Amino acid sequence: MQPDKKQLEILLMHYFRECYPGFPKGKMMPTESPDFIVTLKSRNNLGIELTRLNPLNAQTPDKQELSQQKLKEDIIETARQIFESNSPFRLFVKFLFSGNETIEDERKLILAVQLANIIRQSVENKKPASFFRETLDSSSLPRGIESTLIVNHPALNNSFWERSNNLGVSKNVVADIREAIQKKDKKLMLYQKQRLNYYWLLITTDRLRGVKSYNLPNKILNHNFQSRFQRVFLFDLIKSSIFELV
């Protein structure tokens, strides 16, 4: 059995492969340094390293925001326990809460039950041994929840139910992306010991958001990112959107 971190990486890579039409055909194997090696039909080898976008420039939450975050995480954990009490599925689930609405403490249990039932209905006709993904929008979710991503992969033995953007919302997303690339560029020499033909970097983010309300996707696409990797991607998990940065 793979460790939890590698199980999640396998799920995310399968998800990326499903969403990116330019992904090369070949056999993909989980490894270490880099995280995956794809053996191509040309007999060349592609190494892919994964990393999560860390909002180093995130604003510090105040006391009320911290209280809301704790309440939301309690709701998610309660929903997970209710769902898993009579379901064989072990899922990767991300909940994007509305930033404009305060959730009252008395709604905690009601929301948890509603979410557990909604997710149960979403997987009702699906098999635990299959890969599938589904995104629910606000029209099918309780008030206060903007979107929910549900992903299943047979490699996942333990579930991951999390609040989206739980690392914070950045004040400078472009700077955070540059930092993520530079950090992995410094480790590329280690990955090159595998003597592979190509190296890609995949940066994942729950939901691409910044503190400012400008058009963030355009700002990212118009920026000239540099890297020693041949290809660098930013993968918005909830939107299933892929930005080719390099």
For position 210, what pLDDT does the model report? 66
For position 1, what pLDDT does the model report? 57
pLDDT at 213 over 70: no
Structural domain span for residue 177: 4-57+172-244
Residue that is last in its domain, among 163, 196, 219: 163
pLDDT at 173 over 70: yes
Q: What's the chain's average pLDDT?
A: 94
pLDDT at 59 over 90: no
Residues 150 and 177 in one domain: no
**What is the token pair recorded at 82?**
């209710």
Residues 139 and 177 in one domain: no
Q: Count the domains in the chain.
A: 2
For position 214, what pLDDT does the model report? 62
- Residue 78: pLDDT band with limits 50, 70, 90: very high
pLDDT at 2 over 80: no
Residues 109 and 69 in one domain: yes
Read off the pLDDT of residues 87-101 as tens digits, 9 standing for 90 and up.
999 999 999 999 888
Residues 12 and 34 in one domain: yes
- List Cβ neighbours of 145 (8 Å cut-off, separation of 6 or more): 95, 96, 97, 98, 111, 115, 138
Residue that is last in its domain, among 163, 187, 214: 163
Q: Which residues pair with 48 in a beta bridge?
A: 36, 200
Residues 36 and 71 in one domain: no
- Residue 40: pLDDT band with limits 50, 70, 90: very high
Residues 107 and 185 in one domain: no
Task: Name which of 212, 234, 236 is nearest 59 in CA terms.
Answer: 212
| Angle, alpha carbons 57-73-149 (nearest 5°) | 80
For position 26, what pLDDT does the model report? 95
Residues 159 and 191 in one domain: no
Residues 76 and 108 in one domain: yes
Average pLDDT over every residue of 111-136: 97
Residues 77 and 154 in one domain: yes
Residues 141 and 69 in one domain: yes
Residues 149 and 94 in one domain: yes
Residue that is last in its domain, among 111, 130, 163: 163
Average pLDDT over every residue of 222-237: 96
Residues 73 and 150 in one domain: yes
